[in-house]
Amino acid sequence: MAMRRVPFYLHDLGAPEVEALARVIEGPILSTGAQVADFEDRFARYLGGGHAVGLTSCTGGLQLALTALGIGPGDEVITTPQTFIATANAIVQAGATPVFADVEPETGNLSVAATAAAIGPRTRAILPVHLYGQMVDMKGFRALADRHQLALVEDSAHCVEGVRDGVRPGQLSDAAAFSFYATKNLSCGEGGAVLARDAEVARKLKVMRSHGMDRVAADRFKGGFSHWDMVQFGWKYNMNNLQAAMLLPQLERIEASTARRAAVWGMYETALSGVPGLDGPRTLEGVTHAHHIRAVWVAPEARDRVIKSLGDQGVDAAVHYRAVHLLSWFRETYKLAEGAFPAAEAIGARTITLPFYQRLSGEDVEHVAGALARAVQPAG
Ligand SMILES: *Cc1c(COP(=O)(O)O)cnc(C)c1O
């Protein structure tokens, strides 16, 4: 009997995206133009307001947001060690210093209390991450940021669709950065956006995403030739029309894909409840989960063996994330050591990411759960 294979990720893009791409290719503007502006409008509307700026990545968005908010060399930004390296790297790219604070053991999200304890004289911003798609306590972080006059920037790479206590990404912060990388809930292969509450911050981001130029090519195409000026320092992070065109149909069907992800998540809840001794992040009261990453926690000494066993049974698993402060470069550069952030380290040592996407069937989920049950109890 052929073994069922469950790949780690499969996108659900198809005819609508192909058509949207074809329409851009038939037109004159491949770079930043009408489709990007359309996506920015619709994305901001979906998120309940604010100003969206289309970019090439979430990493670039985090860096630009910090820079636009005046954070740079000499400044410290408090963030979580339980995240992808992009979060901390963006702080370094902005010229600032990342300072880690520990996470809540039950969710893996940055703890408001640990963040408060890490605030020092050089702290200028807080950068939490909505881990796996569950929002952090934004009301708590907003109050803390206000108390100490800090900027608040969200890494919302995992969370477009989430809500917590009536709050959505980008609503209580200065800026929220989103990712449209290949495996994210919305994807154009590579891409990102920032949602800013303040129109002036968004305007600055639009200048900074294109080398600090006061006009982009599409503007010059419209009005005939005119000289542009470089009005401030900038980067090359502008989203192009091909990326935006791929995202627009996904935004149009987001209610349906959100419902499908919730359904697959529910199938996992049921299937995994039969696996003995399995732990995992808790979804808190008041949270509407964005269902991005399906993590389970096993014994640290068993973790790598379980992943290997899953692979042998046709299930591709991964790890999100080993604690960032223990990776060589961070350890060496910031003199960090094991034991500094025990909750983040414990999750990093125990966590396994299961395949999770809209195209998973009930049989796929059953197969993953069965494989996991066999993997955690090899003798049974
Ligand atoms: C994917 C991801 C990023 C980076 O997104 P890019 O668009 O690839 O730059 C940042 N933070 C987290 C938590 C992510 O998962």
Question: How many C-beta atoms lie closer than 10 Å to residue 285's C-beta?
Answer: 7
What was the pLDDT predicted at 32?
96
- The CA radius of gyration of the chain, in Å to the nearest whole number, is 21
Query: What band does 380 get if pLDDT is binned at 50, 70 and 90?
Result: very low
| DSSP-based three-state secondary structure for 155 | strand
What was the pLDDT predicted at 378?
62
Atom of ligand 1 nearest to the CA of 56: 7
What average pLDDT does the segment 355-360 reach?
A: 98
If we measure between CA atoms, which residue out of 114, 375, 58 comes closest to residue 239? 58
The set of protein residues with a Cβ atom below 6 angstroms from ligand 1 is 57-59, 83-84, 86-87, 129, 155, 157-158, 179, 181, 192
pLDDT digits (tens, 9 = 90+) for 130-171: 999 999 999 999 999 999 999 999 999 999 999 999 999 999
Q: Which two tokens stand for residue 263?
A: 């359904």
pLDDT digits (tens, 9 = 90+) for 271-322: 999 898 899 999 999 999 999 999 999 999 999 999 999 999 999 999 999 9
Question: How many C-beta atoms lie closer than 10 Å to residue 63's C-beta?
Answer: 26
Query: 136 and 159 in contact (C-beta within 8 Å)?
Result: no
Distance between CA 157 and CA 165 in Å, rounded? 20
**CA count, 13 A, side-chain hemisphere, 266:** 6
In the reported structure, the alpha carbon of residue 258 is separated from the centroid of ligand 1 by a whole-number distance in angstroms of 20
In the reported structure, the alpha carbon of residue 156 is separated from the centroid of ligand 1 by a whole-number distance in angstroms of 8
Query: 69 and 174 in contact (C-beta within 8 Å)?
Result: yes
| Residues in CB range of 187: below 8 A, 6 or more apart | 11, 13, 180, 181, 246, 247, 250
Peptide bond into 321 cis (omega under 30): yes
In the reported structure, the alpha carbon of residue 87 is separated from the centroid of ligand 1 by a whole-number distance in angstroms of 7
Catalytic residue IDs: 184
Question: Which residue is closest in CA terms to ligand 1's atom 5?
Answer: 58
In the reported structure, the alpha carbon of residue 86 is separated from the centroid of ligand 1 by a whole-number distance in angstroms of 6
Question: How many C-beta atoms lie closer than 10 Å to residue 252's C-beta?
Answer: 13
Query: 327 and 334 in contact (C-beta within 8 Å)?
Result: no
pLDDT digits (tens, 9 = 90+) for 43-83: 999 999 999 999 999 999 999 999 999 999 999 999 999 99
Region for residue 149 given its phi and psi (left: phi exceeds 0; alpha: psi -120 to 50; beta: otherwise): left
In the reported structure, the alpha carbon of residue 229 is separated from the centroid of ligand 1 by a whole-number distance in angstroms of 32
Q: Pocket of ligand 1, candidates 87, 92, 127, 132: which has the most ligand atoms within 8 Å of its Cβ, to mutate? A: 87
103 phi/psi in degrees, rounded to 5: -105, 170
Distance between CA 88 and CA 111 in Å, rounded? 16
